[in-house]
Amino acid sequence: MHKAPKLATKLFHWASGQAQNEDLLGDLQELYEDKLESKGEFRARLFYWLEVIKLSFSYALRKRKKDRSFSNYYSGQKLNTMILNYIKISIRNIKKQKLFTGLNVFGLALGMSVALLCLAMVSDLKQFDRFHQDSEDIYRITTKLTTSGDRNHFASSPPALAELLRNSTQQITNSAVINDHFFPTIKSLGEPIQMYGYYTEPSFLELFDFKLQRGNANVIDNPRSVIITHELAEKLFNSTDVIGKTVETERDGIFEIGGVLAPFPQRTHFKFDLLANISGTNRGNNIGAAGWTDFSGNYFYFKSEASRGDLETIVSNLGQSGQAFFDLESSQASYHVQAITEINPGPNYSDRIGVIFGYDGLLYFIGVSLMVLIPACFNYINMAIANTLNRTKEIGIRKIIGSPNKFIIRQFLVETIIVCIISLLLSTVLFNLVKGEFTSMLVGAEALTFEMTPLVIIMFLGFAILTGLVTGVLPALYLARIAPISAINNRASNKKVSISGFRKGLLVFQFILSLSFMIGIGVVLRQYSHTITYDPGFAKENRIILPLESNNVAVLQNELQAINGVEDISFSSNIPGLPLNKTNYFYSDDLTDSILVREVYISEEFIDKMNLKMVWGESQLSDVQFEQVLVNEKLLSLLNNIENNPQDSLIRQLADRQVQIVGIVADYNHEPLNERIEPMVMRLNESAYNYAIIELNGVNGDATLANIEAAWNKLQPESQFQPRYLESIVAQSYDFMFTAMKIFGFLALISITISSLGLLGMVVYSTENRRKEVAIRKILGANAMTLFGNLSGMFLKLWLIALLIAIPGAYFFYDNLFVNIYNKFSGGVHFAEVFVSSLLTIIIGLSAIFWQSRRIIRINPAENLRND
């Protein structure tokens, strides 16, 4: 045999790739030998080279290469079949290990539920204000103010700048100025309705897609006309056919309704009930210094097709002309444009308008959801690795048959993704259960719809797959690394009995989370019961609150007083125990300092009938020379030198009139206990009464109520009789604490479940690794307690570490931070909740250990040892 050209042979091998070429090379060799004999070496070599090149490009070789790629062992182009195969095997495995899968699915579903909420919220926010026509071209101007080093970014902008822009810039095709300092209170059915309005101009309805159902936009050119929303019309009149009707407000006079808006999408940052004209007010003043520096609550929205860079330049240039006025206040103003679609979610500017979900709040929320999700993912990793021992044979056989590592990695990734998708289904159910609660506790969250659009569903699915990939990659890599021989011998490569410090740390972290949340429930529960039983300083038993409609209180009083069972009647502008919305200014002696005070109007009997205590003076008020008022101790402490000059100093300035302080009421909690006791002034004004407070004698309340209703209907047949017990009103005002409790309960449930699952995973891991040890111990005569004691020792150590961190942490958090927010509630963390939560975690932990230890001990030791 002669050597054929080596390089040509090599080239041919390279050209063949995976294809079989043995027979071809053999043929070539034979032909080469023949040529060598007949034609000589050079011709033979040349011939060989040419033949190799021709063969390399021949159909024969191409076909063989193509066939080769379809081999049973090499998936290459048949990924679809392989994925189907992965899915099939995954489903078999999932079915085989119901407990393992069940725990994982449950844990991941809990972990994902908060993240889904977060995801749905972000996707909702991304839709905000997109419904306006050309929403990408709508901008507003924001103002950055630097005063002696302090920077502040406002969502509002000077009205003078808006005026300049309008007059000198052609690029602006449409615009609207808005002032949001419009909070009319409408008197309706005795209960005043606080509304949010905007002072604006007719172009507001052209710039934004708020469609009119009735009337036209120009009516608000008239300063006494308003356009109201569909919802407000329904609320006030039960109809939308209300053009020409009037609304009477407490401070802003009477408005005529000139238009009703059609219902519009909730996904907008604007939040208003009515629109009124801006030019008829002193708002939006765009002249002189005030037009520049006094810009609080003034917003300028405009539409322009110019690029943002151009707009920024125009706005900055025009803004220069107002700098002189800011110089007087030694501040520096700069202006920016913000697209309306970037307001939500967006930066947290000061002086904002409407509903804003800032980046920081969103980040906090994302943080919480990751805090819940990540432990769940780690649990999965832990349990998947702990479960290795059940899978090593499968992996060994796959590897011996010829499966490369990447196939095994893919197998486990697919498995994790399937588990995640099952979890997603459960999680979506959870999501739908909690989203209502969530919206109710978030300010402005009614704008979030949480609709399950196809996009949201795709996002959820994508999220589940991503979670699966991230979670699955670690166990997959770990399992793929196992050497086939040791796998088939059931000797997992990592045969450590101990558990790594990282996993211990994770478990401690999970314990801390669940302990803190459980303590949190206890704290809120305790504070709730404290709040309910706490004596606010006024009598709330046996008292009925009746909303008033007419101001003819004397008649009502006489009528009701005559009813058997009614002890007394008093009147007030506000229900005790509920927040006070009226404020006023009380001036100090020298009139230089003003004190913000809460204002309540009461009838003469109020103090007596509500069992309020007087510190000093008279509780009866009358209007002699000056208006007589009562103040509380808190206000007294802020007013100086009362004692020095009793006669004069009792005459004080309240807003624009002089009043005489005739008595001092002992501090009591007129407002809910989450508010501090604020300075308060009590005045006498018959026309300001909103409620009658009727004291019953406590005997046969229902009959008395029926009698009162009869009297009421006789007096005011057209208005409804809506009595409520003061006690239940006060209790209801603390309903928000139930929400807090629900949040803590939900988070505690999630983290307790997740940490128990994590613990279980670790226990399974260490018991599985100790099979042989236990078997030998058992043969030598040990009992179940040895293993149990051994494992419990480890667990107790971790638990103690968690306790040492969690308890001081919880004390600090709930005692300082939490209790400071809900001021007045009695002291935070108690021994009871610490004890109960510790006990609960330790019981869960020990029972997991006990369960697994028993399982391992029950196995016949011969089973575990016969292979050695």
Partner 1 sequence: MKGYLGEFEELVLLTIANLAEEAYGTTILEMIEQQANRKMSLGALHSTLTRLEEKGFLVSYLGEPTAKRGGRRKRYFEITQSAKEALNNMKSLRDELWQNSKINLSVG
Name the site residues for partner 1 (rule: CB under 8 A): 1, 4, 22-31, 33-34, 50-51, 54-61, 63-64
- The residue (of 30 and 593) whose beta carbon lies closer to partner 1 is 30
Give the 3-state secondary structure percentages of the chain, helix then strand then coil, rounded to 5: 55, 15, 30
- The residue (of 28 and 693) whose beta carbon lies closer to partner 1 is 28
How many separate helices (H) and strands (E) can be counted in the chain?
30, 24
Longest dimension (CA), the chain: 143
Q: Cα dist. 107→365, 691, 741, 754, 790 in Å?
A: 20, 52, 22, 5, 27
SS3 630: strand
Which sign does the torsion angle of CA 339, 343, 345, 348 carry? positive
Using alpha carbons only, what angle is made at residue 707 by residues 706 and 710, rounded to the nearest 5 degrees? Answer: 90
Q: How far is the CB of 30 from partner 1 (least distance, A)?
A: 4
- The residue (of 23 and 656) whose beta carbon lies closer to partner 1 is 23
Q: How far is the CB of 52 from partner 1 (least distance, A)?
A: 9
Element (H, E) at 231: helix 230-237
- The residue (of 61 and 117) whose beta carbon lies closer to partner 1 is 61
Q: How many CA atoms lie within 13 A of 132 on its CB side?
A: 24
- The residue (of 17 and 288) whose beta carbon lies closer to partner 1 is 17
Which sign does the torsion angle of CA 310, 312, 317, 318 carry? positive
- The residue (of 26 and 367) whose beta carbon lies closer to partner 1 is 26
If you write DSSP's letter for every residue of 341-366 in order, what string do you get? GGSSSB---BS--S---BHHHHHHHH
CB 346 within 8 A of CB 150: no
Q: How far is the CB of 34 from partner 1 (least distance, A)?
A: 8
- The residue (of 31 and 389) whose beta carbon lies closer to partner 1 is 31
Sequence letter at residue 555: V
Cα dihedral value 300, 305, 310, 315, nearest 10: -10
Element (H, E) at 660: strand 657-665
If you write DSSP's letter for every residue of 480-503 in order, what string do you get? HTS-HHHHHTT--S---SS--HHH
Peptide bond into 576 cis (omega under 30): no
- The residue (of 6 and 98) whose beta carbon lies closer to partner 1 is 6
Q: How many residues does the chain have?
A: 868
Phi, psi of 662 (to 5 degrees): -110, -10
CB 184 within 8 A of CB 197: yes
- The residue (of 39 and 92) whose beta carbon lies closer to partner 1 is 39
Nearest of 390, 391, 408 to residue 399 by alpha carbon: 408
- The residue (of 57 and 616) whose beta carbon lies closer to partner 1 is 57
CB 216 within 8 A of CB 140: no
Q: How far is the CB of 51 from partner 1 (least distance, A)?
A: 5
Q: How far is the CB of 76 from partner 1 (least distance, A)?
A: 21
SS3 339: strand
Q: How far is the CB of 22 from partner 1 (least distance, A)?
A: 5
Parallel, antiparallel, or unpaired: how do β-strands 254-261 and 225-228 relate? parallel
CB 515 within 8 A of CB 810: yes
Q: How far is the CB of 24 from partner 1 (least distance, A)?
A: 6
SS3 180: strand
SS3 668: coil
- The residue (of 51 and 351) whose beta carbon lies closer to partner 1 is 51
Nearest of 163, 406, 131, 384 to residue 269 by alpha carbon: 131
Strand partners for 255: 247
Q: How far is the CB of 10 from partner 1 (least distance, A)?
A: 14
Cα dihedral value 782, 787, 790, 794, nearest 10: 180
Q: How far is the CB of 37 from partner 1 (least distance, A)?
A: 12
Nearest of 845, 856, 847, 868 to residue 777 by alpha carbon: 856
* Assigned token pair, 250: 């407490």
- The residue (of 12 and 378) whose beta carbon lies closer to partner 1 is 12
* Assigned token pair, 512: 């801390």
Q: How far is the CB of 33 from partner 1 (least distance, A)?
A: 6
- The residue (of 19 and 243) whose beta carbon lies closer to partner 1 is 19
- The residue (of 18 and 307) whose beta carbon lies closer to partner 1 is 18
Q: How far is the CB of 13 from partner 1 (least distance, A)?
A: 12
Q: How far is the CB of 53 from partner 1 (least distance, A)?
A: 8
- The residue (of 58 and 583) whose beta carbon lies closer to partner 1 is 58
- The residue (of 63 and 96) whose beta carbon lies closer to partner 1 is 63
- The residue (of 48 and 795) whose beta carbon lies closer to partner 1 is 48
Q: How far is the CB of 61 from partner 1 (least distance, A)?
A: 8
Strand partners for 631: 664, 681
- The residue (of 16 and 557) whose beta carbon lies closer to partner 1 is 16
How far apart are alpha carbons 697 and 704 in whole angstroms? Answer: 9
CB 522 within 8 A of CB 832: yes
CB 857 within 8 A of CB 774: yes
Peptide bond into 536 cis (omega under 30): no
Q: How far is the CB of 65 from partner 1 (least distance, A)?
A: 12
SS3 599: strand
Q: How far is the CB of 451 from partner 1 (least distance, A)?
A: 57
Q: How far is the CB of 863 from partner 1 (least distance, A)?
A: 48
Sequence letter at residue 148: S
Q: How far is the CB of 73 from partner 1 (least distance, A)?
A: 19
Using alpha carbons only, what angle is made at residue 407 by residues 403 and 409, rounded to the nearest 5 degrees? Answer: 130
Q: How far is the CB of 402 from partner 1 (least distance, A)?
A: 21
How far apart are alpha carbons 236 and 793 in whole angstroms? Answer: 68
